[in-house]
């Protein structure tokens, strides 16, 4: 069961992490998840929407930005579907500005925390911790204090039909290092899915459910305390006392 989750870890670590050792685990990374450094194919360049195309959809684009910037916190269950069809699930927390937590349910031994400055990726099974600057990760866009589609992140696609709105995003300075599509239901406007596509066209989908907005969140949710340090101190004390 755990082996089936490894595909998602590869996808999300490629989106968030640049030149780090490959970890045999899943994610987001989500959702979103959610890290950078994908191999770039010379024949596959990301194109951003023209000013004319954006202008035609500006009213709805402004609605999305205002909606996403209108809530300070989110707590939601999530279900993740990897390119091979395997499923994982967990809890997603967001607190603006700059804070997120992706807590995976067992048996997936993965925790990801954005603490306002960096992403922390912890693999319980391998006891490996990776730190990534928050502003280098596409998914960090979700936790910005102010949501804008004309800054570091640009619009690559836009679709609105049958009460569903989809907006595709990529980083202007690293357009070929992964893409994120966010899907909303309309009337009322509600975020539903985050779809990650890597440079090899492998797609991972994170679906949100039972979302609560504006709830008070404990600040400890976004603090990572490395459990390995406590074990090292205990080991050192044991050696000294022998």
Contacts (Cβ under 8 Å, ≥6 apart) of 136? 18, 36
CA 12 to chain centre: 8
- Specify the pTM: 0.76
Per-residue pLDDT of the chain (242 residues; tens, 9 = 90+): 333 344 334 444 444 443 233 222 344 334 334 444 333 343 456 689 999 999 999 999 999 999 998 989 999 999 999 888 889 999 999 999 999 999 999 988 889 999 998 989 998 888 889 888 887 777 778 888 888 887 788 999 999 998 999 999 988 887 777 788 999 999 899 999 999 887 677 888 999 999 999 999 999 999 998 887 655 444 343 333 44
Which residue matches tokens 């979700």? 142
Helices (H), the chain: 6-16, 51-56, 58-69, 227-241
Beta bridge partners of 171: 153
Domains of the chain: 3-241 (2.50.20.10)
Three-class SS of residue 141? Answer: helix
Nearest Cα to Cα of residue 56 among 152, 159, 154: 159
Stated as kind and residue range, the H or E segment containing 148 is none
């Amino acid at each position: 069961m755990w082996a089936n989750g490894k595909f998602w870890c590869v996808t999300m670590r490629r989106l968030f992490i640049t030149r780090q050792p490959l970890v045999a685990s899943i994610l987001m990374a989500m959702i979103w998840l959610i890290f950078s450094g994908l191999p770039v194919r010379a024949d596959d360049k990301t194109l951003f929407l023209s000013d004319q195309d954006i202008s035609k959809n500006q009213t709805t684009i402004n609605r999305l930005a205002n909606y996403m910037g209108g809530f300070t916190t989110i707590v939601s269950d999530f279900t993740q579907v990897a390119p091979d069809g395997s499923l994982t699930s967990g809890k997603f927390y967001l607190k603006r500005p700059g804070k997120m937590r992706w807590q995976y349910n067992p048996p997936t031994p993965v925790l990801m925390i954005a603490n306002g400055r960096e992403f922390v990726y912890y693999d319980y099974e391998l006891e490996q911790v990776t730190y990534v600057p928050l502003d280098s990760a596409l998914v960090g866009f979700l936790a910005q204090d102010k949501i804008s589609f004309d800054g570091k992140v640009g619009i690559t696609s836009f679709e609105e039909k049958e009460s569903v709105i989809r907006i595709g995003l990529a980083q202007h300075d690293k357009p070929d290092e992964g893409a994120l599509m966010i899907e909303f239901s309309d009337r009322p406007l509600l975020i539903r899915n985050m779809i990650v596509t890597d440079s090899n066209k492998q797609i991972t989908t994170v679906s949100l459910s039972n979302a609560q907005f504006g709830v008070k969140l404990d600040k400890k949710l976004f603090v990572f305390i490395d459990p390995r340090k406590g074990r090292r101190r205990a080991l050192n004390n044991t050696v000294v006392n022998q």
